[in-house]
């Protein structure tokens, strides 16, 4: 075998090896792309993928949502997702070219409660009312509900810019929904408590309402009558020539004078100014009232008691009325709760059997 033959064999071998590696990579790429041109087999809870293995992005009005697998069949093929967008027989999302999104048709049965794209029952945010499907199209698409709502072409309840349901009247005219009108689907919720102005005029002698005419002058000075009606009452609070308290000189009675006084409503609370006998302390205030002085001394702190001119600290523990001669009330010497009754403090000095 010459060198040329060996070279040919090597080249042919390299070609076959390259083809084998290429086929292996191609097959692995096909396997790595889940459901590529095959069946869309995914697990519950996975994010839905399309035929290219990319995540499906569903346009829900102004926001973008990635659907999540919520149900698979016995073969593992995706059969339902949240939100509920349309799937083909292989489990892939169907694209709606009209709305440029994966928008599903709301197919339900007559008598069911209307649901949204997320399989949740539609409820009025104010009254919490639900809506019963009363008719569907030949293909099962929701056509009308009770109470009547405006539905999208896909059979879902349409919302206004504020996110409120849009109701329909008996002539299928839209009733604007807002935060103030909470039960606009039922006309009985807006009763008329009295007849209209036109009905009042029709049922009554219209001449009785002509006393509200207004006389004015135009630009040329001519008097012009502006017809008015007193059905709604007069706009004048006081008629010309009216005097609330009579036309003569008014003298208010006592109640009116109090009401009209400048001091009405002003606070009568003022600062308390103690008299001189109070400012002089308890010794001056109760100098002629021994019992009250005794009570006042017993309320003093021990350190304060021994520094006053009318209290003594008996036994170093009980403050009572007295002076340098001892307690004023001799009954304090028999108080068994004072252990040392043979001495006392007066103005910082100890008197008696001091230790």
> Same structural domain for residues 228 and 204?
yes
Asked if residue 99 belongs to a domain, the reply is no
Residue 106 pLDDT > 70: yes
Asked if residue 319 belongs to a domain, the reply is yes
Asked whether 100 and 106 are in contact (CB, 8 A), the reply is: no
Rounded mean pLDDT, 101-117: 78
> Same structural domain for residues 252 and 312?
no
Residue 33 pLDDT > 50: no
Asked if residue 248 belongs to a domain, the reply is yes
Cβ burial 299-312 (10 Å sphere, 16+ → b, else e): ebeeeebbebebbb
Asked if residue 337 belongs to a domain, the reply is yes
Per residue in 335-345, pLDDT (tens digit) is: 888 888 889 99
Which are the contacts of 285, defined by CB distance < 8 A and separation ≥ 6?
277, 278, 296
Q: What residues pair up with 159 in beta bridges, in sequence order? A: 165
Asked if residue 228 belongs to a domain, the reply is yes
Please name the residue ranges forming H helices in 63-196: none
> Same structural domain for residues 256 and 286?
no
> Same structural domain for residues 201 and 246?
yes
**pLDDT for res 322:** 92
Per residue in 172-230, pLDDT (tens digit) is: 777 755 443 444 444 454 555 566 666 766 666 555 455 556 667 788 888 777 766 55
Domain count, the chain: 3
Per residue in 13-32, pLDDT (tens digit) is: 788 787 766 666 555 544 44
Q: Which of 243, 270, 297 finishes a domain?
A: 270
Asked if residue 151 belongs to a domain, the reply is no
> Same structural domain for residues 287 and 230?
no
| Reported confidence tier of residue 132, pLDDT bands at 50, 70, 90 | very high
**pLDDT for res 220:** 84
Highest mean pLDDT among 110-124, 127-141, 280-294, 314-328: 314-328
Per residue in 278-334, pLDDT (tens digit) is: 566 888 888 888 899 999 999 888 888 888 889 999 988 899 999 988 999 888 888
**pLDDT for res 201:** 64
Q: Which of 250, 270, 290 finishes a domain?
A: 270
Asked if residue 65 belongs to a domain, the reply is no
Asked whether 107 and 86 are in contact (CB, 8 A), the reply is: no
Q: Which of 249, 270, 291 finishes a domain?
A: 270
* Position with higher pLDDT, 233 vs 226: 226
> Same structural domain for residues 284 and 259?
no
Asked if residue 170 belongs to a domain, the reply is no
- Least confident piece of the model among 245-254, 265-274, 346-355: 265-274
DSSP letter string, 126-161: TT----EEEEE-TTSBEEEEES-B-B-TTSPBPB-T
Residue 335: which domain range?
Answer: 276-352
């Amino acid at each position: 075998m010459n060198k040329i033959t060996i070279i040919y064999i090597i080249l042919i071998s390299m070609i076959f090896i390259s083809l084998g590696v290429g086929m292996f990579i191609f097959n692995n790429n096909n396997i790595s792309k889940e459901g590529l041109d095959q069946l869309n087999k995914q697990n519950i809870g996975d994010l839905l993928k399309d035929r290219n293995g990319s995540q499906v992005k569903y346009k829900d009005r102004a926001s973008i949502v990635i659907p999540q697998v919520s149900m698979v069949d016995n073969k593992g093929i995706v059969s339902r997702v949240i939100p509920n967008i349309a799937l083909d027989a292989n489990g892939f999302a169907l694209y709606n070219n009209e709305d440029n999104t994966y928008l599903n048709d709301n197919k339900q049965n007559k008598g069911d409660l209307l649901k949204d794209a997320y399989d949740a029952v539609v409820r009025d945010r104010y009254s919490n009312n639900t809506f019963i499907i009363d008719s569907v199209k030949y293909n099962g698409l929701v056509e009308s509900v009770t109470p009547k709502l405006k539905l999208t072409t896909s059979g879902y309840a349409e919302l206004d810019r504020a996110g409120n349901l849009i109701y329909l009247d008996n002539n299928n005219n839209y009733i604007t929904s807002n935060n103030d009108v909470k039960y606009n689907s039922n006309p009985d919720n807006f009763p008329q408590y009295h007849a209209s102005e036109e009905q009042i005029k029709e049922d009554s002698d219209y001449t009785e309402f002509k006393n509200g005419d207004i006389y004015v002058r135009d630009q040329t000075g001519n008097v012009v009558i502006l017809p008015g009606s007193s059905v709604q009452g007069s706009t004048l609070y006081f008629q010309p020539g009216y005097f609330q308290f009579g036309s003569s000189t008014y003298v208010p009675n006592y109640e009116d004078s109090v009401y009209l006084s400048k001091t009405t409503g002003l606070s009568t609370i003022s600062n308390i100014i103690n008299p001189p006998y109070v400012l002089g302390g308890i010794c001056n205030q109760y100098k002629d009232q021994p019992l009250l002085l005794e009570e006042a001394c017993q309320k003093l702190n021990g350190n304060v008691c021994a520094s006053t001119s009318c209290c003594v600290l008996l036994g170093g523990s009980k403050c009572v009325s007295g002076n340098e001669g001892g307690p004023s009330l001799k009954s304090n010497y028999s108080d068994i709760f004072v252990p040392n009754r043979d001495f006392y403090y007066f103005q910082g000095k100890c008197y008696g059997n001091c230790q």
